[in-house]
Structure 1
Amino acid sequence: MDAKTSVESNSFLRMKQSDGGNQDLVSKLKGKGSLSSKELMLRADKFDLKSLDIQLEQKLNQVWCKALQTERPKEEWEIDLSKLELKNVVAHGTYGSVYRGTYDNQDVAVKLLDWGEDGMATAADSASLRASFRQEVVVWQKLDHPNVTKFVGASMGTSNLKIPSKNSSQDAPRSLSSRVCCVVVEYIPGGTLKQFLIRNRRKKLAYKVVIKLALDLASGLSYLHSKKIVHRDVKTENMLLDYERTVKIADFGVARVEAQNPSDMTGATGTYGYMAPEVLDGQPYDHKCDVYSYGICLWEIYCCAMPYAELSFSEVSSAVVARNLRPQIPKCCPNPLANIMKRCWDASPEKRPEMDEVVRMLEAVDTNKGGGMLPEDETPSCFCFGHARGP
C-alpha cells in the first residue's frame, strides 16, 4: 500500500468515528484541506463495529443483486418484484414464512425463504438449500391442473421487497436480505384440508363429501405422477381448500422428478405417520410412496381424525416397518372405501395401485346409499366413535 492509499484509508476510518466531523474530513480528502498527524491517530474503542457490520451487509446485498442481474440471464419463471405487495403473514416455517399479498392485482400467497437468517447456515448449506428451492420452482412452474395450486412466479433475490411490520401504524416495513428467495402462488382461501377435518372431527362428513375430497386429491396426484413427479410429502396439511371445497395440492418443497433408477431416491423424506415403510427404512422408493401416503389421508378424510395419535414418531416408524402397523379402519366404513385404503397402504409398493386406478375406483363408488361416519351421539355402539383415534 503506497503512502497516498494509506492516508486515504485512515481518513475514511476517522470519518466513521464522528458524524460531526464527516464533512470536514470529506473536504480534506477532496483536496480542500490537509490532514494533520493528529487526525491520523486512530482509537479502536471509537469504532462503531455494529454500524460497520450493517454497512457491510448493505454493500454485500447490493453486490449480490448486481451479480444476479449481470451474471445470469433472467429465468422464465422470475417475477417483477415491483408488482408484488405483501400484506400479512399466514404461517411460519423452519426457514421462512408465508404471506398473503397481491401480484399484478391478483391475490397470491408468497413463501419467503431465508436460510441464513439464524446465522447458523454455512455457505454450503445455503447453496444446497437454494438449489432445492430452484428444484421446487422448476417442478411447480410446469404444472397445470385444477387440483394443483397454480404457480405464479418466483425470485432468487428479494432485497428490494419490503415485509410489512406487525404494527404498520408505527413501524416502517422491514427490508429483506438479498439472499432471501420467494415463490408466489395463487392464494387459496379455505385453509388446509387438515384444518377442515379437525373442525368436523365430531360431526364427521357426509359420504358424498368424503368421496369428493378423496377424488380431488387422487386426481391431483394422478396428474403429478403422469408428469413423473413424486410429491414425497403427501399429507392433509399440504392440501388446501378453495371456496368450493376443491382440494388443491400444495407445498412442493421436497417434490422431485422421479429418478429412472429407484436406488437414486432414498432417505426419510416426508412426515412420520404418512411415510411409506420403504421410505422409513431408508430403502429405494418411487412414486408408490405417494400412493401409500394417500391411503393414510383417505383414512383421515373418512374418520376426520389423525393417524397414530397415541404413538410417538419413533414408535410409529418402527411399528410401520417391523409390525406392519396401519390405522384401524372403522367397522362402519363401506367395503369399497376400506379396500382402497388397504390396497394403497400395502407394505409392498408393487401391490399398491396407480393413482389413476384409484381415481377410477372412487368414481365407481355409489354414494347414494350413504356410508359416511355419523355423529357420536347417533351411533354410540360403533367402536370408531369411542376413544379418539389418531392426531
Structure 2
Amino acid sequence: MDAKTSEESNYLIRAKQSDNENGDLMSKLKGKGSLSSKEVFYRADKIDLKSLDLQLEKELNKVWSKRLDTNRPKEEWEIDFSKLELKHLVAHGTYGSVYRGTYDNQDVAVKLLDWGEDGMATAADSASLRAAFQQEVVVWQKLHHPNVTKFVGASMGTSNLKLPEKNSSQKAPRSLSSRVCCVVVEYIPGGTLKQFLIRNRRKKLAFKVVIQLALDLARGLSYLHSKKIVHRDVKTENMLLDYEKTVKIADFGVARVEAQNPSDMTGATGTYGYMAPEVLDGQPYDHKCDVYSYGICIWEIYCCAMPYAELSFSEVSSAIVARNLRPQIPRCCPNSLANIMKRCWDAIPEQRPEMDEVVRMLEAVDTSKGGGMIPEGETPGCLCFGRARGP
C-alpha cells in the first residue's frame, strides 16, 4: 500500500451492517458506495454531521411537544398559537427574547424564556424553573388592575411558534426549542418609566407629575401585595407608561408568591441600587423588599437621576449594607415626600410602611403650590445638584 492510499484510508469508516438495518441512515449520509453491498465505505470528512444534529434536534422537539400535548390537559391560560403572530424583536437577554406582535388582533408583547439556553442550567434546574413559571402564570392570569400590565396568556412549549424571518440587528435565536416558555401580555406603547425620566433629566418634572407617577406605582404594588405577590425587581426600568402617562408594573420574570415563612425566600434577586439590605446580605426577606425598592424609585422620579451614579455595583452593595448608604435627597424636596422616601428605605424591614399606607400618604400630599424641582412660576431646572446625574 503506497503512502497516498494509506493516507486516504485514515478518512474511511467501515460499516458492516445489513441493508435492512442501516438502509435509511445510509441514504442520509453523503458519500460514495453501493447501498446493496454488505460492506460500504464512506469518507468521514464528507459526512454532514451538523445536518444530522439538526435532524436529531427536530425529532427530539417533536417527541417533547407530543409529550406536552398528550400527558396533561390544556390549561385555561394557554394561548392558541394560530392566533399569535410575532412582528419584530424588541430585546434579547440571557434567558429570553421579547417580541412585539399580535394575538387575536390585539397588540401584544411576547416574552420567550429559555432557562437552558446558556448551557449552564441542569435538567433539574430547568424543570424547577419551569414548575415555578407555571405556578406564577396561574397567579398572574387572575390579576386585574389599571397599574399592572394585563396578562393575555402563556405556553409551556413553543414548537408551533414561528419566528419573524427578518429580525433586528440584536442577536436572537433563529429557531426555538420546545422547552422554551412563552408569556403574552398587553403592549404598552409609551416605553419605560426610566426612559421617560432620562428624557427629563435636565428640565425635571412638575411636582404634580411626580406625585401622580409615584401614586400609580404605589397602587400597583399595593394591589400585588394584597394578592401575596412579591415582585422582587421593582425599578423604573420595569415600569411602563401608556399614552396617558399611566404607570403599569411589568416584567414578572422573578416575581413569586410570597412564602408564609420568610426564611423560604432568600437569595440576591433584583437589581443593584434597588435591592434591600436584607436581600443584598442574603438574609430572609418578604414583600417589604419591594417597599425599599419603591423608595429608591420615587427618589429617581423626583430627581430624574440615577441613584449612586458615581459608584460601582460592588461599592453600592457593600455601602448599603455596612454604612446604610442611601441616595441624597435634594434640599428642595418637600418634607411630605422626603419622609416617605426615608420610611420606605429604612434598614429595618418592619419599620417600612405597607404600600397601602404609602398610597394614603401620597394622596394627602398638597401639590397645589408646586414644591418640586420646578418651583411654581419659575423656569424648569434645579440647582440642588452641582451637576446633572444619570446617563
TM-score above 0.5, yes or no: yes
Please give the per-residue CA displacement for 1:255-309, whole angstroms capped at 9, x wherever unaligned: 1111111111111111111111111111111111111110000000000011000
Counterparts of 1:320-359 in structure 2, within 5 Å, are: 320-359=320-359
Corresponding residue for 2:95? 95
The separation in 2 between residues aligned to 1:346 and 1:295, in whole angstroms, is 9
The separation in 1 between residues aligned to 2:118 and 2:386, in whole angstroms, is 45
Q: 1:10 aligns with which of 22, 26, 32?
A: 22
Please give the per-residue CA displacement for 1:10-35, whole angstroms capped at 9, x wherever unaligned: 222321234999xx96xxxxxxxxx3
Aligned-pair Cα RMSD in Å: 2.4
Q: Which moved more, 1:77-86 or 1:40-49?
A: 40-49
The residue identity in structure 2 corresponding to 1:235 is K
The separation in 2 between residues aligned to 1:265 and 1:118, in whole angstroms, is 25
The separation in 2 between residues aligned to 1:69 and 1:176, in whole angstroms, is 17
Give 5+ residue unaligned stretches, structure 1. Answer: 26-34
The residue identity in structure 1 corresponding to 2:369 is K
Secondary structure of 1:183 counterpart: strand
The residue identity in structure 2 corresponding to 1:158 is T
Corresponding residue for 1:310? 310
Query: Is residue 2:248 matched to residue 1:248?
Result: yes
Please give the per-residue CA displacement for 1:315-351, whole angstroms capped at 9, x wherever unaligned: 1111111111110000000110111101111111111
Q: Which moved more, 1:175-184 or 1:330-339?
A: 175-184
Counterparts of 1:201-216 in structure 2, within 5 Å, are: 201-216=201-216
Query: Is residue 2:143 matched to residue 1:143?
Result: yes
Corresponding residue for 2:362? 362
Please give the per-residue CA displacement for 1:148-189, whole angstroms capped at 9, x wherever unaligned: 000000011111211113369xxxx95422121110000000
The separation in 1 between residues aligned to 2:380 and 2:54, in whole angstroms, is 65
The separation in 2 between residues aligned to 1:75 and 1:205, in whole angstroms, is 45
Shift of 1:357: 0.5
Retained in 1: the 8 A contact 2:201–2:390? no
Q: Which moved more, 1:219-228 or 1:127-136?
A: 127-136
Shift of 1:136: 3.3
Retained in 2: the 8 A contact 1:98–1:109? yes
Percentage identity across aligned positions? 85
Corresponding residue for 1:30? none
The separation in 1 between residues aligned to 2:345 and 2:329, in whole angstroms, is 12
Retained in 2: the 8 A contact 1:379–1:385? no
Retained in 2: the 8 A contact 1:151–1:186? yes
The separation in 2 between residues aligned to 1:116 and 1:354, in whole angstroms, is 37
The residue identity in structure 2 corresponding to 1:14 is M
Please give the per-residue CA displacement for 1:222-281, whole angstroms capped at 9, x wherever unaligned: 001111111111000000000111000011111111111111111111111111111111
Shift of 1:93: 1.6
The separation in 2 between residues aligned to 1:45 and 1:166, in whole angstroms, is 33
Shift of 1:127: 2.0
The separation in 1 between residues aligned to 2:21 and 2:303, in whole angstroms, is 71
C-alpha spacing 1:390/1:282, structure 2 compared with 1 (3 Å):
farther
Corresponding residue for 2:107? 107
Retained in 1: the 8 A contact 2:19–2:38? no
The separation in 1 between residues aligned to 2:57 and 2:315, in whole angstroms, is 46
Corresponding residue for 1:36? 37
Q: Which moved more, 1:157-166 or 1:226-235?
A: 157-166
Query: Is residue 2:179 matched to residue 1:179?
Result: yes
Shift of 1:120: 4.1
Shift of 1:50: 1.2
Counterparts of 1:259-270 in structure 2, within 5 Å, are: 259-270=259-270
Counterparts of 1:113-262 in structure 2, within 5 Å, are: 113-166=113-166, 174-262=174-262
Shift of 1:7: 3.4
Retained in 1: the 8 A contact 2:30–2:48? no
Secondary structure of 1:142 counterpart: coil
Q: Which moved more, 1:69-78 or 1:42-51?
A: 42-51
The separation in 1 between residues aligned to 2:274 and 2:197, in whole angstroms, is 16
Retained in 2: the 8 A contact 1:161–1:175? no
Secondary structure of 1:385 counterpart: coil
C-alpha spacing 1:348/1:174, structure 2 compared with 1 (3 Å):
closer
What TM-score, normalized by structure 2, do the two folds share? Answer: 0.89
The separation in 2 between residues aligned to 1:126 and 1:214, in whole angstroms, is 37
Retained in 2: the 8 A contact 1:136–1:253? no
Corresponding residue for 2:51? 51
The residue identity in structure 2 corresponding to 1:8 is N
Corresponding residue for 2:289? 289
The separation in 2 between residues aligned to 1:8 and 1:120, in whole angstroms, is 40
The separation in 2 between residues aligned to 1:178 and 1:258, in whole angstroms, is 30
Retained in 2: the 8 A contact 1:16–1:47? no
Give 5+ residue unaligned stretches, structure 2. Answer: 1-16
The residue identity in structure 2 corresponding to 1:204 is K
C-alpha spacing 1:80/1:379, structure 2 compared with 1 (3 Å):
closer
C-alpha spacing 1:18/1:94, structure 2 compared with 1 (3 Å):
closer
The separation in 2 between residues aligned to 1:366 and 1:283, in whole angstroms, is 38
C-alpha spacing 1:46/1:243, structure 2 compared with 1 (3 Å):
same
Corresponding residue for 1:32? none
Retained in 2: the 8 A contact 1:139–1:255? no
